[in-house]
Chain A
Amino acid sequence: MSGKSLDNRRVQKFHWMSRFLSGWAIFRQSFLGKIGLTLLALFALMALCSFIPPLVDPMYQPMAGVDPEISTVTGPSTRHWLGTDFMGRDLLSQLLAGARVAFMVGVSAAFMSVFLGTAIGMIAGYMGKFADTLLMRLADIIMVMPALVVLLMLAALFGQLSIWFIVFFIALFRWPGVSRVIRAQTLSLKHRPFIEAARVAGASHLRIIFRHITPNVLPLSFLYMTFQVTSAIIIEAALAFLGFGDPRTISWGMMLQWVWKTGHMFNAPYWLLPPGICISLITLSFYMLGRAMDEVLDPRLRKEGQTD
């Protein structure tokens, strides 16, 4: 033990910084993490690039822009690198815009659900008793509800759903998983001597929650966020594919829907494959990122010799 503490003595002044750096060192050793991060960087680049084509020529508008000379499905060409869809819209610019939407939907839905889940989990874990039972039963109920089916029913009832409504709804459906984990973590923290020491020192419940518990569960929340992103993207894509996406935004799911609806499933691979591959890859890359973060956060998963 004493040897260990001597190790660290010189190095570090700022804890968060040092934690981040040592975490990064472990992350870098993870093969999955590196692939995931590289892929994500590519997708982020795509999302950023989605602003460029419309500036080049208005016909590259992903939604409204139609090539005046083409009004049917065409394969790749120099004018349209990935080809055009049934109306003559540029597929590449649609794919790029889809990346932007995927990020927007994934990250914001994940953020909201993790925020909800963390808050509810902490409240349930810390307050215990009645609040705990109530919130956790609620979580159970939501958890067993099939999110997609409910969303479909809502879409059928209210017509087209806006993208923000979908994001909000995904968040609403995805928090229970997070809150369970956070609640368990809070429960185990609650009886740790350092929390009791704070109580003995006279700290109020709010202070204990915000000063002592929150910082100790946040890393876990962040970890869960990466997994949540994956499921949010998939749900959105599925909705769009089934025709209940937001008609004012372009998403990969929607591109697939058009392929299918216009009957080009088997004769326009340049149209079908890119969005399909993109969906698989982006969810995969968030998942790999999550797994690598798992290793960073949970010392038990580290390989021998990696520990600090």
Chain B
Amino acid sequence: MALLEVEDLTIGYQSQRGFLKAVEGVSFSLDKGRSLGFVGESGCGKTTLGMALMRLLPPNGRIREGRILFDGQDLLEKTDEEMRQVRWQKMAMIFQTAMNALNPVHRVNDQIAEAILTHNPSLGKQVAYKQVEGLSRLVGLSKHRLRDYPHQYSGGMKQRAIIAMALACQPKLIIADEPTTALDVIVQDQILEEIKNIQKEFDISIIFISHDISIVADVSHDIGIMYAGQLVEYGAREEVFESPMHPYTKALLSSYPTLTGEKAQLMPIPGEAPDLIHPPSGCRFFDRCAGARASCRTNPLVWLEITPTHKVFCYQCGRQCGR
């Protein structure tokens, strides 16, 4: 059975101009021990989705429709108190602004121990601090630096401390929102490696959010491509990369410089993403799509299954396949 099942999730923000649908009709499921990556350009709703799964939306954000089934329970029907039990114990999040998530006035080990103790008060201090040491070994933080304050850490070390904190209660699911964006390639590589190892060792599921395709591809089994609040393509990593179907996925891949293969001319996607308060009807990628026809705008979109694991949300793809 899937650990996490999301059905038809629609999330929005109340803004001055009206209701901004940041995420619309997103469905996916995630099995135990698998990792799923969400990719898309800035503002496409990745963070919103992650926050909604944790039920941590800002006050003006609201989940309009849909269901979030986690471990067999509907998260949207839980009370705030019940949700607090689930959060951190069963699912944890590494935030986009993680570097600032550590409290500057407390020592790092105290902060991690605190996280353990708030959820398992019965453990006792001794055990908790022992666990902190174990965690730090796991994420590659030197034991000797644990008693430092956060400002004495480099960006990479802070990030490791945050990961240790997320792991503190042995969650079943970790949502990582751009966990390495501000880091150098070498540090980033080490941290991604660490995340992969931890996932294997503890059979944790991970949702990985980034706008950098190459990073997501590195850690995820499955990949969801998001555009303007909607999921537009979903499939196993190899399928999405080797035979991308949606024009947006193709455009995204060809706008990304690589180090292998021929040095090809980059093809930036022209134009800008649509307004999410008054989204256009039909396909949202219409204005920027090279293969668009008038019918894309008028016909309702349906998900097209290319293989049992690979789906695409594009009208033209369906026509080409003759379905």
Seen from chain A, the residues whose Cβ lies within 8 Å of a Cβ on chain B are 1-3, 6-7, 304-305, 308
Contacts and interface: CB of A to CB of B under 8 A. Distances in A.
B308 interface: no
A3 B20 contact: yes
A1 B20 CA distance: 13
B43 A1 contact: yes
Nearest to B17: A7
B59 A6 contact: no
Nearest to B18: A7
Contact of B43 (A3, A304, A308): A3
Contacts of A305: 14, 16, 59-60
6 contacts: A3-B22, A3-B43, A3-B276, A7-B16, A304-B60, A305-B60
Interface in B11-56: 14-17, 20, 22, 42-43
Interface string B273-285: 1011100000000
B262 interface: no
A308 B16 contact: yes
Nearest to A7: B17
B272 interface: yes
B60 A6 contact: no
Given A2-B272, A2-B273, A3-B43, A304 B16 contact: no
Interface of B: 14-17, 20, 22, 42-43, 58-60, 272-273, 275-277
Contacts of A3: 20, 22, 43, 275-276
Nearest to A9: B275
Contacts of B59: 304-305
A6 B42 CA distance: 13
Nearest to A2: B43
Nearest to B60: A305
A183 B44 CA distance: 40
A7 B277 CA distance: 9
B58 A1 contact: no
Listed from nearest, the 6 A-B pairs whose CB atoms lie closest are A2-B43, A6-B275, A304-B59, A305-B60, A3-B43, A3-B276
A6 B273 CA distance: 10
Contacts of A308: 16
Q: Looking at A1, A2, A304, which has the most chain B CB atoms within 10 Å of its CB?
A: A2
Given A2-B273, A304-B58, A7 B15 contact: yes
Contacts of A1: 42-43
Nearest to B14: A305
A296 to B, nearest CB: 15
B12 to A, nearest CB: 11
A288 B299 CA distance: 57
Contacts of A7: 15-17, 277
A3 B272 CA distance: 10
A308 B17 CA distance: 9
Given A6-B275, A304-B59, A305-B14, 8 more contacts: A1-B42, A1-B43, A2-B272, A3-B43, A6-B276, A7-B15, A7-B16, A305-B60
A307 to B, nearest CB: 8
A94 to B, nearest CB: 48
A22 to B, nearest CB: 9
Nearest to B59: A304
Q: Looking at A6, A304, A305, which has the most chain B CB atoms within 10 Å of its CB?
A: A6
Contacts of B276: 3, 6
B275 to A, nearest CB: 5
A2 to B, nearest CB: 4
B97 to A, nearest CB: 14
